[in-house]
Structure 1
Amino acid sequence: MRIKFVFLSIILISQITVFAQEVITPEKAIALALENNYGIKLAKTDVEVAKNNASILNSGYLPSLTGNAGATYNLDNTEAEFSDGRVTTLNGAESSRYNASIDLNYVLFDALGRSYDYKQLKETQQLTELQARETIENTIIQLFTVYYSVSELTENNDALLETFAISKDRLIRAQYQFEYGQSTKLAVLNAEVDINNDSISLMNSKQQLNNSKRDLNLVLGNTLDDEFDIDAIVEFNNLYNKDELLEKAKANNISLLQVDKSIDINKLGIKSEKSTMFLPTIGLTGSYGWNKNNNNAASFVSVSTNTGLSGGLNLSWNLFDGGSNITRVRNAKINLEANNIQKEQLLVTVERDFNNAWDDYQNKLSIYRLQEENIKTSQNNFDRTEEKFKIGQANSIEFRQAQLNLLNAELSKNRAKYLAKLAEFQLLQLSGEILNISF
């Protein structure tokens, strides 16, 4: 009864995915990740902020326009003495003043600092876009690490199902042989132990597969249903040219591109600091205003109203600021030198990483090819052992060993295949080509 229950459980596990499910291809997985991955969404918001910062509205090229208005009321006790000797005393004399104006302030020339600052903002925007690209590249690597884990576990699950079916066949055969007196109870017990072990392995594999599917769904922004399948077809590109890829790595590696952009930004920073040392700042001011005064009786004029336009130019020249500007220029030059050193170091590191990745890819690809050949050998060995087992020339231990050898060969082949594919992606990422992959 216990064996029948195990059979039923395995059948339910293996048949639960028979119903039509959504198939996620690599192309679809990339599209879903680009649109829904949370890390990529956050990177896009950083790019939008950088675009806003680099707009004309944040450049300093536009004038400022300010509106002002005010009112004042006075209640005074006043004693006024005139030149002819008359004295006038006013108690509770009222007066009021009203004003309104529109004021313009515009920097006509600021020693070119504004120009360099604006260029820096544009370069910073491009640096932010490169940082977003790095996030996308890392997300794609993360995506396919999980994607191929799901694919590997799916194929492993199929191999374990096949192994379980073989063990079930063996148990049925052992039971028949025992009933007809052709075998001992020990053969039945051994078959029961093996089929129980196979069922445990199958259930563990199924649980790992479910966990990996949830991990994949998380990378895709939780956009998939609970049950889905993936396209497990894997192809390798054997036409890569090492020298061409290395040159692409030196030109397009995302870390190198970011260092280059930082160097450009620091060069503009040096020019901005230098410009304030040698050139003045010229500003334009303008105002259009209205003023009304209601004076008390002690004044010669009771009411006065003024409207008018005023304007002016101002010049400011920082002849010497105690050496702060000189210090900033010197530090900016040192930072630029540090960036150049960092680039040299990064070039050496990228070349080393590329060579390691190239060798790793070639090695893993060769291992996968050998594992494919090993499958053929293991399958041939199992087929021969199975034939001998059926006619009594091989015992159950020999049969089980051949069965496990075949299963291990299949699992090793699956592992080698997906490790090789991930090694290919690592190579493409170093070369700056990960966003150009095709399937």
Structure 2
Amino acid sequence: MRVFYKSLLAFFIVFGMYSPSNAQEVLSKQEAVTQMLANNFGIQFAENQVEIADNNQDILNSGYLPSLTGNAGANYTKDDQDVTFRDGESNSIVGAETTRYNASVNFNYVLFDGLGRFWNYKSLKEEYNLSSLQARETIEITLLQLFTVYYEVARLTENEQVLKQTYGNTQQRLKRAEYSFEYGQVNKLDVFNAEVDMVNDSINLLNTRQLLENAKRDLNVVINTNLDRNFEVDTLVDFTSQIQLENYVNSADANNVSLLQAEKNIIISDYDYKASKAVFLPSIGLTGSYGWNEGNFPVTSFATSSTTTGVSGGVSLRWDLFDGGRGITTTKNAKIQYDNQQLAKEQIKKEVTRDIFNARGNYQNRLEVLDLQTKNISTAKNNFERSSEQYKLGQITSVELRQAQVNLLNAQTSKNLDKYDAKLAELELLQLTGQLLNIEF
């Protein structure tokens, strides 16, 4: 019964339904980025906002085009009339009918409005540029989210391989302990210890596989694809050269998306301030009209019918000499808002500089930790191999061998974690320097 239990457990671990042994598609980093850009809900929303801003900055929304309206109407009256003419004659009509018809096309155009629409139009152009930067920021944030999940899948994939190897080593140790016990070379305690360790290794492997499945679903959400889609990921990590990173850091002021947005907000506030002063200047407009009128009247009128057509035009000037002070208040507030945007930029600049220094320090630290962990794996592997040989010769106990095995497992999984943490730290630094969208993945 014990042999059957162990065989069933080994079969479930190695060939279970969650095993990735079957051939699966490999989702490359570039393909994941492409799918994210095409399908992610947040990015689609940001792109729609850019399209709205593009519509707003069009000439059709500028106020520079004239307005053209058409009017038409018809009136009908029926009444009783008593009329006395100048010669003394009188006339009475019961149910006198009168009909009138009119139609016109009216033209209005503002020649000058105090330069308000000029600055508003320039402001709309900058708001479009600002919305493009906001969309870029959304893409950068989503890209960091994508790689956070992508590298978590990669880390768990590598951990699964390490745990499978650990499980296989423990399984071999159990077989050796059983053979040694049968020949009286060890006591039953070694067999029990190996069985306990094999169960623990199997549990760790199953838990890691479940975490891997969950992480893949998280990645499917980010790229907006089917949740049950299964795939493998690329576990190869390349780091940007230190010289290139230093160049990126030095040019961060000109490329950081938060600083660029702050600059656009300053320009928009400046245009708003200038537009607010249009209230102090006159406005001049052109008007024009082409109209047609027709009327049919009862016999009590001097004319029984009339038809008129004609064109009219004019120039109008309007100057609000004093509006109760609202214009002055609006202008003052616009100037304060402009000053606030200047202060906001200085604050953002200081915060971005701090974040870059912190990100660069974190990145360098994680690279050093990764280097140490890589060396530690070599030491832990040599220690485990020597411990295995000593265990076969009976020079150490199974407990000491297990400790060497655990040390190797911890070193390998820690190295996997540090590798992807270092890469994510690099991506964060690239985002802060404004270069995240300019590199190849």
State the TM-score, normalizing by the size of structure 1. Answer: 0.97
| Partner in structure 2 of residue 284 of structure 1 | 286
Among residues 48, 57, 60, which one is paired with 1:57 in the alignment? 60
Among residues 41, 45, 49, which one is paired with 1:38 in the alignment? 41
| Partner in structure 2 of residue 24 of structure 1 | 27
| SS across alignment from 2:299 | coil
The 5-angstrom pairing of residues 368-407 of structure 1 reads: 368-407=370-409
| Partner in structure 2 of residue 410 of structure 1 | 412
Distance 2:66 2:226 in 1: 48
Distance 1:186 1:237, change over 3 A: same
- CA deviation after TM superposition for structure 1 residue 275, in Å: 2.7
- CA deviation after TM superposition for structure 1 residue 17, in Å: 2.2
Distance 2:363 2:331 in 1: 47
The 5-angstrom pairing of residues 291-302 of structure 1 reads: 291-302=293-304
| SS across alignment from 2:243 | coil
The answer on 1:164 being equivalent to 2:139 is no
- CA deviation after TM superposition for structure 1 residue 42, in Å: 0.4
| Partner in structure 2 of residue 105 of structure 1 | 108
Q: Which moved more, 1:173-182 or 1:118-127?
A: 173-182
| Partner in structure 1 of residue 433 of structure 2 | 431
What's the RMSD between the two structures over aligned residues? 1.4
The answer on 1:145 being equivalent to 2:148 is yes
Distance 1:207 1:225 in 2: 13
Distance 1:238 1:369 in 2: 16
Q: Give the conservation status (yes or no) of the 8 Å contact 1:242–1:358.
A: no
- CA deviation after TM superposition for structure 1 residue 223, in Å: 5.3
Distance 1:393 1:247 in 2: 59
Q: Which moved more, 1:245-254 or 1:197-206?
A: 245-254
Distance 1:143 1:417 in 2: 17
The answer on 1:206 being equivalent to 2:209 is yes
1:331-370 per-position Cα deviation (integer Å, ceiling 9, x unaligned) = 1111111111111111111111111111110000000000
The 5-angstrom pairing of residues 23-422 of structure 1 reads: 23-222=26-225, 226-240=229-243, 244-277=247-280, 279-422=281-424
Distance 2:70 2:268 in 1: 37
Q: Which moved more, 1:170-179 or 1:90-99?
A: 170-179
Distance 1:180 1:15, change over 3 A: farther
Q: Sequence identity of aligned pairs in percent? A: 52
Distance 1:358 1:211 in 2: 31
- CA deviation after TM superposition for structure 1 residue 378, in Å: 0.1
Distance 1:242 1:386 in 2: 44
Runs (5+) with no aligned partner, structure 2: none
Q: Give the conservation status (yes or no) of the 8 Å contact 2:18–2:209.
A: no
Distance 1:155 1:348 in 2: 39
Distance 1:242 1:22, change over 3 A: closer
Q: Give the conservation status (yes or no) of the 8 Å contact 2:221–2:227.
A: no
- CA deviation after TM superposition for structure 1 residue 18, in Å: 2.5
Q: Which moved more, 1:175-184 or 1:61-70?
A: 175-184
Q: Give the conservation status (yes or no) of the 8 Å contact 1:141–1:425.
A: yes
Letter in 2 for 1:325: G
- CA deviation after TM superposition for structure 1 residue 180, in Å: 2.0
- CA deviation after TM superposition for structure 1 residue 16, in Å: 3.5
Letter in 2 for 1:370: L
Distance 1:32 1:157, change over 3 A: same
Distance 1:66 1:15, change over 3 A: closer
Distance 2:75 2:324 in 1: 44
| SS across alignment from 2:315 | strand
| SS across alignment from 1:292 | strand
1:297-329 per-position Cα deviation (integer Å, ceiling 9, x unaligned) = 100100101111111111111212122111111
| Partner in structure 2 of residue 7 of structure 1 | 10
Distance 1:242 1:4 in 2: 53
Distance 2:55 2:310 in 1: 37
State the TM-score, normalizing by the size of structure 2. Answer: 0.97
- CA deviation after TM superposition for structure 1 residue 125, in Å: 0.6
- CA deviation after TM superposition for structure 1 residue 14, in Å: 8.3
- CA deviation after TM superposition for structure 1 residue 243, in Å: 5.2
Distance 1:382 1:339 in 2: 62
| SS across alignment from 1:301 | coil
